[in-house]
Structure 1
Amino acid sequence: VFVAVLGYSRMLYIEFTDNMRYDTLETCHRNAFRFFGGVPREVLYDNMKTVVLQRDAYQTGQHRFHPSLWQ
Structure 2
Amino acid sequence: MKIKFDKESDTLMIIFREVRIRESDEIRPNVIADFGYDGKLVRLEILDAQSVVENTHEFLYSFEEAK
TM-score using structure 1 length: 0.26
Q: Which has the higher strand share?
A: 2
TM-score using structure 2 length: 0.27
Structure number with greater CO (CA < 8 Å, separation at least 6) is 2
Q: Which has the higher helix share?
A: 1
